[in-house]
């Protein structure tokens, strides 16, 4: 796919534009679906034989990837927009707006996750930073391992429960003899 070079003012969408139309144009470039991290996870899963629905609107939070066979949803979160604690850097302008926005996003994510779990879905959250080149393969393998564990848990048999019956009386067939004595 050929891409045209974007003008300079489109390169940093967080930098405030002088004109509202330019700012709006910049913000429209920020995607909510089909992001690069999402595509990495989806391509890996598809290549490994997993079939899924993407951005399924019928479930709370519109999960990025829904694997119905595994009763599992996967959210691929961008570190900035979803407030990843490890390396969150706030913009220097309009700080109170961004803090509030990210706080609301985190609360919304938690509500969606809780509702999905209450509905019986397994929830996996993948952070954008865990899909960088040095950690990508380990993260993708961990996702697959988690999916397989969740799938096998569905078919795990219930533990067997044995009822232990204790006798009412301690009656033996023969009277009890002290140790070391001969029986007649």
Query: By C-alpha distance, which of 24, 54, 48, 50 is closest to 137?
Result: 48
How far apart CA 109 and CA 107 sit, in angstroms, is: 5
Going through the chain in order, the beta strands assigned E by DSSP cover: 53-54, 65-67, 72-77, 122-127
Banded model confidence at residue 40, pLDDT cuts 50, 70, 90 = very high
Give pLDDT tens digits for 84-101.
888 777 888 888 988 899
d(CA 85, CA 38): 20
Tell me the pLDDT tens digit for each residue of 159-168: 888 877 766 6
User: Domain spans of the chain?
Assistant: 32-151
Identify the pLDDT of residue 5: 46
Beta carbons within 10 angstroms of residue 94's beta carbon: 11
In terms of CATH, what superfamily is 32-151?
VSR Endonuclease (3.40.960.10)
């Amino acid at each position: 796919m050929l891409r045209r070079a974007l003008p300079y003012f489109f390169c940093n969408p967080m930098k405030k534009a002088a004109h509202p139309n330019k700012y709006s144009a910049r913000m429209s470039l920020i995607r909510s679906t089909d992001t690069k991290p999402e595509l990495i996870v989806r391509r890996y899963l598809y290549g490994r034989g997993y079939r899924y629905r993407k951005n399924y609107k019928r479930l709370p939070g519109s999960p990025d990837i829904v694997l119905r066979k595994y009763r599992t949803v996967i959210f691929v979160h961008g570190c900035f927009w979803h407030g990843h604690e490890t390396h969150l850097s706030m913009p220097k302008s309009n700080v109170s707006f961004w803090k509030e926005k990210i706080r609301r996003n985190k609360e919304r994510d938690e509500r969606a996750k809780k509702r999905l779990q209450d509905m019986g879905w397994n929830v996996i959250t993948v952070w954008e930073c865990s899909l960088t080149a040095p950690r990508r393969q380990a993260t993708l393998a961990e996702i697959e391992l988690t999916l397989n564990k969740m799938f096998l848990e569905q078919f795990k048999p219930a533990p067997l429960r044995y009822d232990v019956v204790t006798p009412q009386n301690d009656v033996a067939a023969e009277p009890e003899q002290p140790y070391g004595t001969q029986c007649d």
